[in-house]
Amino acid sequence: MTDSRRQYLIDTEPFYRPAGAEIAQFEAAWSRRLPVMLKGPTGCGKSRFVEHMAWRLGQPLITVACNEDVTASDLVGRYLLDADGTRWQDGPLTVAARIGAICYLDEIVEARQDTVVAIHPLTDHRRVLPLDKKGELVRAHPDFHLVISYNPGYQSLMKDLKQSTKQRFTALDFDYLPAEAEAAIVALEGGIEPALAARLVDVAAKARALKGHGLDEGASTRLLVYAAQLIATGMSPPDACAMAMVRPLTDDPDIRATLAHAIDLALA
């Protein structure tokens, strides 16, 4: 394996607890190099899943956290000025296509539309990436695989993937795990007792019930793990929950009071 691929390998297995048949389904898509779209709420394990699959398949992983400032040039590359004049620098998508890595575009819907369109030639039978500024056509390495993710419940009509993009991908749906399974993850990754982890999950369930009724998003599994890790340092559970599960979610005093009440009841 070349150094260019080796540097993107994941050496240690990322912990991931399957919710269903998603591992086998991803492996089937990978075997045919079919692009995969992961859909689910914030912090439910989509990124961890991709890391786990890259490790499981022994493939390099290049991740791009998309936002509204990400341009097509940020993905494919651009000319840069240096002491000798100009030189071309590949973007992460181009690097992945050249070396045969899994390219994971996280929250793709946050990127500008011209950025999204740039991935289209890589998602059908052509598997090519035109570098118009350089006058080069990059043919994707046989191991190249494109994966994107987004949160469909958080998008407005102005921020959604077009059908012309969606229908280039296979898709997997993600959601928060059942309470018992989620508590097991929080206990393991947060380093706290399972009984306490279960109570944190109970608080999260109440926060998630407020989605659309004062909250844009409920408490994610990631925030539960943060709260557990704070508790493991010796912080009191109510203070840890306030720091990790209330203040990040809202500034509304009434919603904060509702969540604080739920915390008091769960941790009493």
Q: Does the pTM exceed 0.75?
A: yes
pLDDT, tens digit, for every residue of 215-267? 888 899 999 999 999 999 999 999 999 999 999 999 999 999 999 999 999 88
Compute CA distances 196 → 84, 209, 226, whole Å: 61, 20, 14
pLDDT, tens digit, for every residue of 85-122? 899 999 999 999 999 999 999 999 888 888 899 999 99
DSSP secondary structure string for all residues of 179-247:
HHHHHHHHHHHHT--HHHHHHHHHHHHHHHTTBTTTBSS---HHHHHHHHHHHHTT--HHHHHIIIIIT
Contact 185, 167 (CB under 8 A): no
Q: Rounded CA gap, 171 and 38, in Å?
A: 6
Q: Rounded CA gap, 179 and 177, in Å?
A: 6
Q: Where are the chain's structural domains?
A: 3-173, 179-267
* CATH class of this structure's domain 3-173: alpha beta
Q: Rounded CA gap, 102 and 135, in Å?
A: 24
Compute CA distances 73 → 4, 31, 62, 106, 129, whole Å: 21, 29, 16, 17, 12
Mean pLDDT to the nearest integer, 189-218: 92
153: phi then psi, degrees, rounded to nearest 5 = -80, -5
